Structure formats: C-alpha cells, structure tokens
Structure 1
Amino acid sequence: MTISATDLAAMLCSRLCHDMLSPVGALSNGLELLAEERDGEMRARIVELLEQSAKASADKLKFFRLAFGAAGGFGELVSVAEPRALVEGLVSNNERITLSWNVSADAMPKAAVKVLLNLALFGMEALVRGGTLEVGAEINEGASEIAVRASGPRIAFDETVGRALDGTLPEEELSSRTAPAALVQALAREMGGGVQYALTSEALVLGAVLPGA
C-alpha cells in the first residue's frame, strides 16, 4: 500500500474533524441552552457539562497534535511523560476504561511516540464496552519496541483498519477511518521496522518494532 503525503494529510484532517465534531457540538448546544435557561440549578448543570465538553475537546486536540501532526516544539526525543499524559487525558473521559502504563524508557523518538499514541488510540476504540488498556514500550539496542493490549467484554476492531495497519489495504479503499493506521504503517516502513496485530474475542494486541527510531 502506498499513498501520497497530500492524500494522507487530507484524510487525517478529516478524521480530526470527525472526532472533534461531537465535543465541539456539545459546547455549541450547551451555550445555546445556557443563554435560554433561567433556573439556577439547571444553569449550574449546564456549566458543568460545558466544562466536561471543553476538557474533552482540549484533550483530543492535544492528543492529535502529536499523534497526527508535526508537533512543533518537540525535539527528536520526546519525554514519555508527554504521551502518558495524552493517553491518560483521553482515558479520563471514558470512565469504563482503565489504563495500565508500562513504559520503561524516559524518552522516545518522536516517530515512535506517534506510533505508540496511534496504537493506543486503536486500543481505546476497540473497548466499546470498557475494559483495560495496557500500554508498554522499551528501548533495546536503539530500537523502540511498543505493545498495546486492549481487553474487555467486547472487542470491536474494523478489519479495514487492520489491513491498513499491515499494509494490505488498497490505496483506493483508504478513508479517514483507516488513515491513522496507514500513518503507523508508513512510519514503521520508513524506519525499517514493522507493525502487527492479533485479535480474539477477548483482546486486541498491537505491536511495533522500530529499529530506525
């Protein structure tokens, strides 16, 4: 599978817009309600919902900035505290998901962090009824080894995302939904590494080895 940088960027932008539509729309609706509501208790509740939507919007924007974007301001090495905070931010907006963070490195190459964040995103999306998201990574002889495991009562993983992840999805079938997986596959290929996944009824396991990272 090959895709032009322009097409991939466009699909990632579409994905970003899709994911931001819900929390931003909730903010807009909440402001309209707040302008019309006169009951003090109801206004307090609306403000609480607005705060939740604002936090969800900010958490997603911060996450996608590093997962999808150029992420200016970061050097070639990124402290693992940054991706941890980003993943924790998204998980905190879903009380049904528990995060287990097991990253031994203090810092990782920016490209490897992008792969880690996107694999974590796939794991979170697979936990449609909640569960546990385990994120692990270490550096061995200069290579970044990343593993993400999502386990729960129901695992949902789109086959086309898996095919984009392993590079077998035809370019004409790529979409905003599969673009993050195509990005991961492209990054792994550029670094001379690989990415793979295994799916069962109880868990989704994703892994990447990036010797060039």
Structure 2
Amino acid sequence: METKADLASLLCSRLCHDLLSPVGAMNNGLELLADEHDPAMRERCMELLADSARSAATKLKFFRLAFGAAGGFGPKVDPKEAKAVLEELVGMSGKTQLIWEVGDQLYPKAAIKILLNLVFMANEALVRGGQIQVGSELSEESCEIVVAASGTHLAFSADVEKTLLGNLREEELDSRTAAAWMVHKLCEENHGQILLEHPDKNMLVIGSNIKV
C-alpha cells in the first residue's frame, strides 16, 4: 500500500460494491412501478423499494462510522453509536444474533473502528447466520476487544485472515481485504495487535488490544 489514498480507494471500491445491490434494486423497482398498474403488484414493488432503501441506509451509516472520518464525532465515540449501526447491519439477514457486552465509557475512535470492522468481517463469515458476541474492556492505558462468531457454516476468508495478521503482501490487497488492512494498520499505529483463533470449524474468535 503506497499511500493512504490507495487504501481510501480500495475502501471506496468496497463501499460501492456493497451499495450496488440495494441501489440497483431501487432503480429496478422504480422502473417496474412506472409500468405496473395492478394494485397488488404495485404494493409489492413498494415493499421491495422500502427494503432496498433500508438496506442502503443501514450500510451507509455503518460505512460512515467504520471507514470514514465519522463526521460529528470527536476523538472519542459513544459505543452506543456502534451498537446501533451493528444491530441494524447484523439484523438485516434475520439469521444472526448480536450479543453486546461493551461498557458505556467513551471509546477512542480507533477502537470503535476496529470493533466495527471486526464485527463486519465476522458477520460476513456467517454465511447461514449464527451468533456474534462482542466484548470489550477499556482502561486508562489500553482497550481490549473480542469478537466471537459461531454458526453452522462459518467461512472466513483466508486472505482476510492473512491481512488482519499482517501476512498478506501489500501489492496483493484488494477491496475484499481493505477493511482488514485498515484494522491491521490501526492496531499497528496504536501499539497493539490482532489475535485470531478457530476453536472449532463452527467458531471464530478475533481479539484486538491497543494502547489508548
């Protein structure tokens, strides 16, 4: 990764990729609505439009806090903001439960970004749904975060794992691994590290600790 601009470009590519589906669905829904005269079908089109709009809004709120500068927030962020966007993101599938065990203290922005992105990656790994448990401990010196994902079909990308641990070459990075690289760099910049374990084939545990 030559510059921060290169990372920003990859993160933007990921954001566009994830928004393409709901925005495309809204466009298609509007086209169908314009030509449809049956009341039942028009109602169905409106439902699909509403679902797609909610999906796009949820993803935008998540990416704003997880990837962006989190405009409106200072150097510290209320973890309730993270919880709110994660509950919407994880809950979209209707198949995954979020268990939140994080205190109410204000967290450094870097820690919130790490937490959000670790849950984001864990959620993607739960192809058929499951459970994501998020825990954290914050002191005057450090912040520890643990994200545990469990499900009957857990598929965690080998490249994402390598990137989180700093074992993927920078020239091999792409939009799929950009978030993991950002987490790796945030940990590195804050004198921390990532720990990753697979207790069994249906469980993934990712831990992070940084200095604050």
TM-score with structure 1 length normalisation?
0.96
What's the secondary structure of 1:132's corresponding residue? strand
Q: Which residue is equivalent to 2:14? A: 15
| Runs of 5+ consecutive residues of structure 2 not aligned to the other structure | none
Measured in 2, the distance between the counterparts of 1:3 and 1:153 equals 39
Measured in 2, the distance between the counterparts of 1:15 and 1:120 equals 16
Residue identity (%): 51
* C-alpha deviation, 1:3, in angstroms: 4.5
Q: Which residue is equivalent to 2:206? A: 206
What's the secondary structure of 1:129's corresponding residue? coil
**Does the CA contact (< 8 Å) of 2:147 and 2:205 recur in 1?**
yes
1:31-46 paired onto structure 2 within 5 Å: 31-46=30-45
* C-alpha deviation, 1:136, in angstroms: 1.2
Measured in 2, the distance between the counterparts of 1:56 and 1:142 equals 38
1:129-148 paired onto structure 2 within 5 Å: 129-148=128-147
Matched, 1:5 2:4: yes
Measured in 2, the distance between the counterparts of 1:171 and 1:76 equals 28
What's the secondary structure of 1:160's corresponding residue? helix
Deviation per residue, 1:4-38 (Å, 9 max, x gap)? 21111110010111111111111111111111111
* C-alpha deviation, 1:92, in angstroms: 2.1
Query: Cα distance 1:210–1:3, how it changes in 2: closer, same or farther (>3 A)?
Result: farther
Deviation per residue, 1:64-93 (Å, 9 max, x gap)? 011011111101111111000010111221
**Does the CA contact (< 8 Å) of 1:96 and 1:130 recur in 2?**
yes
| Runs of 5+ consecutive residues of structure 1 not aligned to the other structure | none
**Does the CA contact (< 8 Å) of 1:27 and 1:53 recur in 2?**
yes
**Does the CA contact (< 8 Å) of 1:146 and 1:209 recur in 2?**
yes
Deviation per residue, 1:98-143 (Å, 9 max, x gap)? 1111102422111100000000001100100110011111203331
1:73-92 paired onto structure 2 within 5 Å: 73-92=72-91
TM-score with structure 2 length normalisation?
0.97
Q: Which residue is equivalent to 2:46? A: 47
Runs of 4+ in 1 over 4 A off after TM superposition: none
CA RMSD of aligned residues (A): 1.0
**Does the CA contact (< 8 Å) of 1:148 and 1:206 recur in 2?**
yes
Deviation per residue, 1:176-203 (Å, 9 max, x gap)? 0000000000000000011121123111
Q: Which residue is equivalent to 1:98? A: 97
Aligned residues between the structures: 211
Measured in 1, the distance between the counterparts of 2:210 and 2:85 equals 21
What's the secondary structure of 1:94's corresponding residue? coil
Q: Which residue is equivalent to 2:154? A: 155
**Does the CA contact (< 8 Å) of 1:118 and 1:181 recur in 2?**
yes
Measured in 2, the distance between the counterparts of 1:115 and 1:169 equals 18
Q: Which residue is equivalent to 1:180? A: 179
